[in-house]
Structure 1
Amino acid sequence: MTHPADPPGVAALAEAMLDVPGLTRLGESLLSDELVLFPVRHHSPACALQLQRLFAARGPSMVLVEGPASFTPLIPALTAPEAQAPLAIYTYAVLQGGQRHAAYYPFCDYSPELLALREARRLGIPARFVDLDFVQQLRFSAAHDDGPDSGGRSLLDERHYRHSRYLAELASRAGCRDHEELWEHLFEQPAPGLALEQHVANVAAYCALARANASSEELMADGTLAREDGMAARILSALSERRRGDGPVVAVLGGFHAVAMPALLQERRLQAGRFPQAAETGVLDAADALIRYSFERLDRLNGYAAGITSPGWHQRIWDLLQKHERAGVAGKARVRQEAALSTLYELAAQLRESHGVAVPMPALAAAYEQALGLAALRGRSGPVRDDVMDAVTSCYIKGDADAEGRLVRQAAQRLMCGERMGTAPPGGAAPPLVRDVEQRALRLRLKLQAGGIRRVVLDIYRRSEHRATSRLLHGLALLEVPFAVRTAGPDFVAGHGLERLQEHWEYAYTPMTEAALVEASVYGMTLPQAVASRYAAQLQRLHDNGAADAAAAAGALAQGCVLGLHAELPRVLALLRQSVAADARYERVTSAAVAIALLWEAREPLEARHASELPLVLGAAYERAIYLATASASDPAGGAAGSSGGGAAHDAQASALMRLRELLASEAGRGLDAALFWNMAQHAFRRHPSAMLRGAAAGVLFGGGYLDDAALAASLRGHLEGLLAPPEAVAFLRGLLSSAREAAWQLPALLESVNGMLARWPEAEFIGCLPELRLAFAAMTPRETGRIAEAVAALHGGQSLGQLVHHGVTERQLQANLALSQAVRTALEQDGLAGWGAGHD
């Protein structure tokens, strides 16, 4: 087969490269009395249905399935009666050098591979996986994007279909959006009415088209050729075990591989004994495990790499197909008509019950009629997924499809996806990490039995065993294991709630917890190993990003202490020193300094008593922050961010200024040189190009006693009553109130200047500055707002409103007075005197 650089059209391809007789011979070569090479599209109900019919008609003697051979011991658990799909086999490998790789092999009820394995169990015939082991696939593949932090890859990746130019051209000519709709158009909806041989020939032709675009170099680079060579060797081995007169060996392979297998088997028969060999690479750890899976993770729309979009829709189709097959009822159109109607009905019910969106019966009927009409117009015997979704868009959405229709489309996509969650059979072999976590949790008196959500309160300041429990729970959170949620208590990483002495957690050990622990096994065999590996990977990412984010490095240091990884502190401290020196963002370096100070003060519960370098690193971060703040105040571009108000960047810098002031007042900040801060604040007050930051510096100096009332009042009048543009004047006021809100009622000149400024402004200017004015007073508490209101009222000669809340009045008296007021108002309106009573309620 050749691989042209510029492929011809599909018709020319069928005539020249893949002529019809050639395609017919290819399909026939897949079916023989000795061997059936059954080509499938992973998670295809059509392929599963035809495979089910093949088992009933041919009585195979052995079943072979594409998938790593190391998965074979898991077949009994995978096909056990207690096992409920969707499920997945999770595999991982840790190679020398610390490279970690992980992958998933998912199954659902209509996966042809799972159906074949279940049929083999029912018939009592041998079954095995025949692909290269995951480690071998890694060795043959030139590049990997399957690290555990990437979410792992799929071992059923079908990228060759997505990238095929021939299939894209065929989809375009068939009026389909993409190869997914093309597949459902050509295979899923006609499958129930096709003979087995015709179905196999059609799938073979489709997959041959996809393969026509793939060059030998590409297939060698991604490991496809090596995998196919290995599968061919195992198929021949299985054939050698077959006795004369037995049924055929059935090999269930992805169609992309199946179409190449007849020629490869013939070649291998001439070169017996050859098996693909890869350069030896040390494997530190590798394992496979069966875990529960979900339709949400399986759906291509959620980023899944293999399978068919909307697994819930195809589960609905599969269930109806099985119902009709058992009843012996023919009629491929009826299955899809029932699926479309039930989907539209359930969607209408969900929209009404969960979202308050009414879908009247005429709209439902119109949607059903439109789905049938679209299918007929597009040459289909029954609706496919896109026909139903188009009908929903047309009949269920009122208004713009991208505005009002978003909720409806999201609900439809969720329904098409499905919410099914699988169940793995009990008693399966679990990786060491699962057992290690269970043993540690039991030693710490955490209850892992079923029984709903439990609660635990940890006194981390006084009890060492509670600190150990806290580290376990934080470690599981780092590994993204759904087990526990901290509902209250100090957050040493974010710097919140540090006045609290206890941590409050809610936890529950569920099947999802165990599944996530299996997936986290790629990081280590024990919880400390796994947590340390995941933490080390985070540190490496910080280092790879240039170690220029001091706040992130300080957060990593705090997280390491929370996790109990004190052995990592020297490395993290070195990274933190490097980040402080390299970071040019004043607010981030300030955040780092504050985090270091909090960590030093909390060294007792975090057991970081040996981090003696912290005060030195704190001093370096503090001095670096002062230097950057001073440089920012001297930079003419320092006021360029956003408007003269400064935008988010200046908000962050103003906040950093106040955090530095708080740092100096803390226990850890007592050893710092306060003169550096006050000199910097004076410099910012006099020279910073941003009016907001000049105001923030003025407030800091006023609160610290370095700026008296007269000087602050003079500066305030200069900004508010001078020649500055109104937005800049308001920015100064906002900065001042952000750092010294007490000035609003302690400094009469402030409200007088604001009053004069507002009196001078035309209405358009006032409306333009109103958002900034609101922000200036937004942080005030209700009590502070009341004090300001009283001062403003006094400024205009207003009198006190007196007591606003009268506790001596009962609710009944209040209601009676309100009723009397309403009666008087009604009487005045009837006499034409409604205006007379206005303002006298």
Structure 2
Amino acid sequence: MAGPVAGPAGGLGPLRERLRAAAEEFAGPDDALPEILSGMVEDVDRALAEELEIFPVCHHSPASALAMARRLAEKRPRVIYLELPEDLAPLLEELRNCRLPVALQAFATELDGFPADWAPLSVVAPLTEASAEYQAIAYALDTPDVELVLVDRSADHVLQWREREDAPDADPAADGEGRESEEAAGLHGDAFGVGVGRLRPGFAELEAHLLHHGKVRHWSEWWDQYVEQPLAGADYRTYRQAMVMIGSLFRRLRPERGARLAVDEDRERYMWTRIREHLASSGTDPATALHVCGAFHAASRVEQFGLASEAEPFPIPERTGTAWRYGLIPSSHSAIEAQFGLAPGAVSLAAATWSRTLTAERLTPFRLAGQRTGRKKPKAAKRAAAPPAGGAGEAGGDRLTPFLDRPPVPGALDEDELRGWCVDLVRLARRNGYLASTADAIAVFETSVLLAGLRGRARPTPYDFEDAAVTCIEKDTVPGKRDVRRLCGMLLGGDRIGTVGYDALPPLARDVLDRLEPLGLNLTARTQQRALLDLANRPELRPCSDLLWMLRRLLGDVVRPVMGDRALGGRAIQESWDLALGREQRALVQLGYEGVTVEQVLEQRLRRAVREPDATAATALKAVEEALLYLGPGRLVDDLGSRAVALLAAERTVDQAPLVLRRIRRLLAYYRTTEAGPPHWAETFVTTGYAHYCTLLPTAFTDEEVGARQVAAMLGFLFGLEGFALALGCDRAQLELAVRQCHPVEPDRTALLWAAEHRLDLLPLPALRERCAELLANPLVVRAFPRYVSGFVQALEPVPSLAPFVVEQLSGAFGRLPDAVLLPWLPRLIMTLRREAAELLPVLVREAGRTFPGALPALDALVPPWEAPPATAPARATPVAGPAGGLLAAHPAACEAWTAVLDLPVEWARAAPSAGPAGALVAAHPATAEALAGVLAG
């Protein structure tokens, strides 16, 4: 490569003067346009005169890839400096085991030095075969004694320099990194995309101007029309000068002061500092090296630019303490388009252009040995030919002036190609439900030619064809899932999706595929696989079932059970699964960043969940249950249970009392079925919870921020687990004292207190019935009666025996209240029950079903149990003989208790111990009394 040129303008001096004169004539000498145009020429001269050859590229550009393939074949450089994050270098060898497109990824979940709400962090650099950076990588890795050096900032620095909010003077489309937001780009997830040489105007006004005068809709279409096609067949010098000029144009028409421009300049300082460090340490001759960077950075004006610069090296900041994990994830054309703001189908069309040009020119691109490409190689292909004589890589020579002077050569209309597109599109449309015919194919053909003519093109582009197809085929509705634009994309290029090979997967992903091999399925296929597990006849598949349930917990719908369930103490006989591990390979790869096995990752997540700052006792109990379900009993369960006890004792609110009650009940029910019984931590949890909720109960009854559902759950814990707690040494007097200290004001909590007092034998059922009757009789309180009913319904959790009483009160209200009160009152009752006690209403429905008859005629003759008169028995002159009579006489207190339960008056006749209602009861059922007496006597 030639040395620096003489003069400030070098070989492009005449072009500079011509542009300045034209700008002054057009805009005047005092306008900024002359300086901009002459500055563009100076930037081109500066880049071409650099001792280290700079290769300007555009991200995923077929023209750049073709020029790169030709230049590598001619120059055969020994060192390539590539604009990619330097910490991704170890991943490049793994590309041999993949099928493009794939993305190099840096991933981090445990952050040190970044805001916690940024987690997880993900930085991706997607690669396609039709990209200059892949051609450089393939050449360097498969050519002996060639060194590939990545010189861009690391993934850690990408996030360090990222502005939390977009700068107000910046256009998101012009940034080198973009956060993906399109749903169609799910293969990259919520990642930052890093590309090489992304060219786009720096502000919206310039882009809108270019699109308007170019008669195109999207920037990708403008770029293809005015840059890709003219440069696809250009020689290397023309390509290089034109790309640097475009980069300089966009750079000079960008706001001078802005956060994004500052970041870009720091990137350039970073890259040139790394290049100098490598040249100094390796002793590489710059003439044998090649610097591949974006055209925007090739026109850099930073002080560190060039090897001849005497500026101080850029002080590279230290990385944070964040632990980054690296790997390859699948990518796709649609994912790249969405992430980098390209038009839908742009990357697919670029791939089609790349393949068509390779076939037409019979060129063989650089491709990693052993790599799967997904397409056949062109027959009788040859390596990219050397450029014409005269030294394509020389800096001298003005190739830009004749390129700009020469009008674009209109391509001849290829009728066979366009006709084939139209016929194939009609065939594809008919398969997708459109009523397309041969007439539609003719209409698409003619409309494509017409649109191209209206837009000043001699040859219809794929975008013209797409517009014509939408106009002629897609009428008012879309009959299926795919519209015509999507069909055109499938026809012209398709959304190619890459895969990561088995050898390039992390150890966890390989372990998963190995352990699921007994299923006999192709788990790397992108289609959904159905797995049928007959665990009764094939017990060897039970480890596969265990693994699938763990993956279900970790990956969500990537593995989805169709039939079968996993519960504590349960054992499935058959299971059916839908597996999408091949389609959702990214999720499996990122799971591999967290550990070596699925069990290790699950244990780490469970331990992390109970140690989070917002962890609660309910969270810890859920972790205990999941540990038992997926990993079985062991030390992990005991550790999580002990953490649950500590969290419960530290809680000062009862917001999650319902979850705590439900989960501890389920765990205790499971442990009672085991031989060892409840472990020590479960016993401690019950005793701690009993004392804890007794302490918080008086406050919870009066706290406005605590709902009735939470208070009912507290009472459910205290009453439901009372027997277990008392057996472990708790004192029932503590609960009675707590209930006596409660003084609620709200109606629903008042009803809960009455239910608790009834459960503690502090409020008999007749007294409770009288209180409710007073509420219904008081016109000032009757409007609040639905809230009392809601409280009684909530009380069914701690006192389920109140179900008949609640049915009685509702029936009494419907029977006693007049329509003027009942009709406005009824909607409020329904809404209150639905909002506050929806899960307990089935209990009332079942109780009502047992109370009321199922046939309408029987309803007229129904006498509710609470209105039935006391049963009378015929008087007996003599006491009941036998052991039953003696039993009644010996235990009068028991008889009085039973008659009180049956709501019967107690009238003892001392002369006849068995007289009165108790005696009548024994006389009516002598067999029962005799049997009971026999049991007690025995």
Tell me the TM-score normalised to structure 2 length: 0.58
1:154 and 2:168 aligned? no
Specify the alignment match of 2:570 in structure 1: 500
Q: What is the letter of the counterpart of residue 754 of structure 1?
A: F
> Structure 1: which amino acid aligns with 2:555?
E
The within-5 A match list for 1:801-812 is none
Q: Would the aligned equivalents of 1:734 and 1:777 in 2 still touch at CA under 8 Å?
A: no
Match of 2:124 among 97, 104, 108: 104
The alpha carbon displacement at 1:315 in A equals 1.7
Q: Are 2:558 and 2:581, in contact at CA under 8 Å, matched by a contact in 1?
A: yes
Q: 1:633 to 1:282 in 2, by over 3 A?
A: closer
Distance 2:675 2:268 in 1: 52
The 1:455–1:657 alpha-carbon spacing in structure 2 relative to 1, beyond 3 Å, is farther
Distance 2:764 2:776 in 1: 18
Structure 1 residues 203-259: Cα deviation after superposition (integer angstroms, max 9, x where no partner): 342245558444699539987643452256558999945778xxxx65442445443
Cα 1:503–1:566, aligned 2, differ >3 Å: closer, same or farther? farther
Distance 1:651 1:73 in 2: 56
**What whole-Å deviation, never above 9, does each CA across 1:129-178 have from its counterpart, x for those lacking one?**
522584785898699999xxx9774360799999x9x52453566689xx
Task: Output the CA distance in 2 between the equivalents of 1:408 and 1:13.
Answer: 55
Query: 1 CA distance for matches of 2:450 and 2:646?
Result: 65
User: Which ranges in structure 2 are unaligned for 5 or more consecutive residues?
Assistant: 1-26, 115-119, 166-178, 180-187, 232-238, 362-408, 864-938
Please provide the CA RMSD for this pair: 6.5
> Which residue in the other structure is 1:22 paired with?
39
Change (3 A) 1:513 1:311: same
Superimposed CA distance per residue, residues 387-444 of structure 1 (whole angstroms, 9 cap, x where no aligned partner): 979x99xx9889xxxxx99x99999899999865312345x344444455567778xx
Any idea what the Cα deviations from partners look like across 1:468-517, whole Å, max 9, x if unmatched?
A: 878755654555388755667776xxxxx446345976565944676545
Distance, in Å, in 2 between the alignment partners of 1:728 and 1:535 is 45
Q: Report whether the alignment pairs 1:198 with 2:242.
A: yes
What amino acid is the match of 1:66?
Answer: E
1:588 Cα deviation from its structure 2 partner? 0.9
Corresponding residue SS for 1:780:
helix
Quick one: structure 1 residues 439 and 211, their matched pair in 2 at CA, closer, same or farther if it must change by over 3 Å?
farther
Equivalent position of 1:538 in the other structure: 609
- How far did residue 617 of structure 1 move? 3.1
Instruction: Indicate if the aligned counterparts of 1:634 and 1:688 stay in contact, CA closer than 8 A.
Output: yes
**Residue 140 of structure 1 contacts residue 223 of structure 1 at CA under 8 Å; is this kept in 2?**
no
Q: Give, in whole Å, the separation in 2 of the partners of 1:467 and 1:668.
A: 41
- 2:497 aligns with 421
Measured against aligned partners, the alpha-carbon deviations of 1:591-623 in whole angstroms (never above 9, x if no partner) come to: 335534544554699999996333223322333
- For 2:755 and 2:453, the matched residues in 1 are separated by 70
Q: How does 1:466-615 map to 2 (within 5 A)?
A: 476-477=551-552, 479-480=554-555, 484-485=559-560, 497-498=567-568, 500-502=570-572, 510-511=581-582, 516-527=587-598, 529-540=600-611, 542-543=612-613, 545=614, 547=615, 549-560=616-627, 562=629, 564=631, 572=640, 575-592=643-660, 594-596=662-664, 598-599=666-667, 602=670, 612-615=680-683
Tell me how far 1:518 sits from its aligned partner. Answer: 3.6
Is 1:233–1:268's contact at 8 Å kept on the other side of the alignment? no
| Aligned with residue 687 of structure 1, among 739, 744, 763 | 744
Q: 1:736 aligns with which of 777, 792, 801?
A: 792
3-state SS, counterpart of residue 819 of structure 2: helix
Give the C-alpha shift of residue 120 in structure 1.
7.2
1:111-130 Cα distance to aligned partner (Å, 9 max, x none): 44335545778999957352
Q: Which residue number in structure 2 is paired with residue 644 of structure 1?
A: none
Deviation sequence 1:527-547 (CA, Å, 0-9, x none): 55544444454344x22x4x5
Distance verdict in 2 for CA 1:702–1:516, change over 3 Å: same
Whole-angstrom distance in 2 between the partners of 1:786 and 1:741: 16
> 1:66: which partner in 2?
83
Deviation at residue 749 of structure 1 after TM alignment: 4.7
The answer (yes or no) to whether the contact 1:41–1:307 under 8 Å persists in 2 is no
Task: Say which of 299, 302, 306 aligns to 1:266.
Answer: 306
One of 842, 845, 856 as aligned partner of 1:780: 842
Q: Which runs of 5+ in 1 are unaligned?
A: 1-9, 301-305, 399-403, 492-496, 640-648, 801-841
2:689 is equivalent to residue 621 of structure 1:
yes
Given the superposition, is the C-alpha separation of residues 138 and 561 from structure 1 closer, same or farther in structure 2, using an over 3 Å criterion? farther
Question: Match for 1:710: what amino acid?
Answer: P
Is the 1:185–1:384 contact (alpha carbons within 8 Å) kept by the matching residues of 2? Answer: yes
- 2:860 corresponds, among 797, 805, 811, to 797
Aligned residue runs from structure 1 range 211-226, under 5 A: 212-214=256-258, 219=263, 225-226=269-270
Bigger Cα displacement from structure 2, 329-338 vs 703-712: 329-338
Taking a change above 3 Å as real, the CA distance of residues 787 and 115 of structure 1, as seen in their structure-2 partners, is farther
Taking structure 1 as reference, are residues 765 and 572 closer, same or farther at Cα in structure 2, changes over 3 Å only? closer
Q: Is the Cα–Cα contact under 8 Å of residues 27 and 201 in structure 1 kept in the other structure?
A: yes
**Percent of aligned pairs sharing the same letter:** 17
The SS at the match of 2:194 is coil
Alpha-carbon distance between aligned partners in 1 of 2:145 and 2:593, rounded to the nearest angstrom:
34
- Pair 1:184 & 2:220 matched: yes
Moved more, 556-565 or 332-341: 332-341
Say whether 1:113 aligns with 2:113: no
Which residue of the other structure, out of 63, 72, 76, is the alignment partner of 1:49? 63
- Checking the alignment, whether the CA contact within 8 Å between 1:232 and 1:268 is kept in structure 2 is no
The Cα shift of 1:87 comes to: 0.9
Residues 319 and 662 of structure 1: is their aligned pair in 2 closer, same or farther, counting only changes over 3 Å? farther
How many residue pairs get aligned? The number is: 725
The alignment partner of 1:687 has SS state of: coil
Say whether the 8 Å CA contact 1:35–1:251 is kept in structure 2.
Answer: yes
Give the 3-state SS of the residue equivalent to 1:89 in structure 2.
strand
SS in 2 for 1:201: helix
Secondary structure, aligned partner of 1:266: coil
Aligned AA (2:270): A
Residue pair 1:84, 1:422 contacting (<8 A) in 2 also: yes
Aligned to 1:809: none
The corresponding residue for 1:307 is 340
Conserved in 2, the CA contact under 8 Å of 1:92 and 1:287? yes
8 Å contact from structure 2 (residues 82, 150) kept in 1: yes
Q: What is residue 714 of structure 1 aligned with on the other side?
A: 770
| 3-state DSSP of counterpart to 2:134 | helix
Q: 1:615 to 1:748 in 2, by over 3 A?
A: closer
**Which of 221, 224, 230 is the equivalent residue of 2:274?**
230
SS at match of 2:242: helix
- For the residues of structure 2 that align with 1:605 and 1:552, how far apart are their CA atoms? 24
Q: Secondary structure at the match of 1:67?
A: strand
Separation in structure 2 between the aligned mates of residue 198 and residue 758 of structure 1, nearest angstrom: 91
Cα distance in 2 between the residues matched to 1:414 and 1:154:
29
Within the candidate set 352, 355, 365, 1:319 is matched to: 352
- Which of these residues, 51, 62, 87, is aligned with residue 102 of structure 2? 87
For the residues of structure 2 that align with 1:418 and 1:676, how far apart are their CA atoms?
A: 72
Describe the SS at the equivalent of 1:308: coil
Q: In 2, are the aligned partners of 1:487 and 1:505 still within 8 Å (CA)?
A: yes
Q: Give 1:560 shift.
A: 4.8
Give the alignment of 1:733-772 within 5 angstroms.
Answer: 733-737=789-793, 739=796, 743=803, 748-757=808-817, 759-761=819-821, 766=826, 771-772=831-832
The answer (yes or no) to whether the contact 1:102–1:522 under 8 Å persists in 2 is no
One-letter amino acid of the structure 2 residue matched with residue 219 of structure 1: V
| SS of 2:99 mapped into structure 1 | coil
Give the Å deviation of 1:20: 1.6
Question: What code does the residue aligned with 2:814 have?
Answer: V
